[in-house]
Amino acid sequence: MKNKLQQEIEDIQAQLWRMSDHLYEHPELGDQEYESMKLLTDFLKEHKFNIETGIVNRPTAFKAEYKSNKPGPAIAYLAEYDALPGVGHGCGHNLIGTMSVGAGVALSKVIEEIGGSVTVFGTPAEETNGAKVPMSAEGIFNDIDVAMIVHPGDQSYESGESLAMDAIQYAYSGKSAHAAASPEEGINALDSVIQLFNGINALRQHVTSDVRIHGIIAEGGQAANVVPDKAVAQFYIRAKNRAYLNEVVKRVNNIAEGAALMTGATLEISNYELSYDNMITNESLSKAFTANLKELSPGPIYQAKKNTGSIDMGNVSQVVPAIHPYISLNQPGLIAHTTEFADKTITVDGHQALVSGALALAQTGYDVITDTELLKTIKEEFANTNL
């Protein structure tokens, strides 16, 4: 049956390459991926998937489902297709989207025989305001048994961890005045932001090494001779898990409030993007995927690399067994979020990664449906890990 999956991927690989290249040539930012969504859903519709768009109140999100007439596990593949401003598909989401779509179509060709269902979820805006967050919170994955996604990388790596992350804005309001003639009449909001940065820098010594706190001054005044009456700082705050991140955020918020007290400014704290939870890899599912990829990939598959970034797949992994491995673009040291990375996705190496990733995903879905012991092990691990 796995030979049939390989044949199915070979039958559609030229279409997958064209779709991925088209996404590369027409990059769309998060929550603006209308053409990208249509390209992927039209292809799924051709293969008899039932399509629902605009799920979780996100216009470019979709659910594409193919159900067999036999009971069995529900397999989910997650598609990303948002690009980066000024860089295009520098994170390879053109490959990610088409890999998941290809895997879904291939698996749909055999589930009438083996049972179960396959769903491809279109998940916009991973780079900014990830749709997987509301999807996880609103129960979209409640009927799913496993969820999978594969990310391109410089080399292949097993699925690992990611950091939990909050995106927090600190907006200070003060009182403007002539900075030379009557500075005593002013309340300097920018001074609050500066003290916030100083306080955070002092905090760094007293948090665990996994913590990352990095920010910018988004607004700091208009003219040097006017006391700034408004100043805004935006930070990403990350930690290995959600529980510790919540502690760190509380401490940063206390620093922010102290900065306001020091200057007399008022403070408003808000989240300017959705929060991402840490990724919890289901090792049983990961081993099944790695075994399939080893049969397809000539290069090595390394152990999970230390990840200091954050992904909205982390939220998915909190509610359903999930993996997020990396597949090689055959260029060690290649840096993501660059035009060089984007350009690599439309090469022979990029096309090979697309085909191998789609097939490994499809084969792993097949394993989960047909191997009851594997599914039992996956679910037991999830229950014990996600307490």
Residues 6+ away with beta carbon under 8 Å from 27: 83, 84, 88, 89, 94
Domain with CATH 3.40.630.10 in the chain: 2-162+277-385
Average pLDDT, the chain: 96
Token pair listed for 53: 């768009």
pLDDT tens per residue, range 311-355 = 999 999 999 999 999 999 999 999 999 999 999 999 999 999 999
Give the sign of the dihedral formed by CA 298, CA 341, CA 351, CA 283: positive
> Using 50, 70 and 90 to split pLDDT, how confident is the model at 298?
confident
The confidence score (pLDDT) of residue 331 equals: 96
- Quick one: which of 313, 276, 343, 357 has its CA closest to 27? 343
Domain with CATH 3.30.70.360 in the chain: 164-271
pLDDT tens per residue, range 268-282 = 999 999 999 999 999
- Quick one: which of 273, 74, 76 has its CA closest to 167? 273
How far apart are alpha carbons 257 and 265 in whole angstroms?
Answer: 9
How far apart are alpha carbons 107 and 46 in whole angstroms?
Answer: 15
The confidence score (pLDDT) of residue 387 equals: 60
Alpha-helical segments (H) within the chain: 2-25, 34-46, 93-108, 111-114, 132-137, 189-203, 242-263, 283-296, 313-317, 339-344, 348-370, 372-385
The angle, 0 to 180 degrees and rounded to 10, between the axes of the packed helices 372-385 and 348-370 is 100
How far apart are alpha carbons 172 and 321 in whole angstroms?
Answer: 42
The confidence score (pLDDT) of residue 240 equals: 95
The confidence score (pLDDT) of residue 2 equals: 84
| CATH architecture label of 164-271 | 2-Layer Sandwich (3.30)
Instruction: Annotate 7-38 with three-state secondary structure.
Output: HHHHHHHHHHHHHHHHHHHCCCCCCCCHHHHH
Is residue 191 within 8 Å of residue 323, measured between CB atoms? no
Q: Does 305 have pLDDT greater than 90?
A: no
- Just give the CATH number of 2-162+277-385: 3.40.630.10
Is residue 301 within 8 Å of residue 156, measured between CB atoms? yes
Q: Does 234 have pLDDT greater than 70?
A: yes
How far apart are alpha carbons 57 and 38 in whole angstroms?
Answer: 17
The confidence score (pLDDT) of residue 154 equals: 97
pLDDT tens per residue, range 134-154 = 999 999 999 999 999 999 999
| CA separation, residue 164 to residues 21, 115, 122, 146, 318 (Å) | 32, 36, 22, 21, 11
Residues 6+ away with beta carbon under 8 Å from 42: none
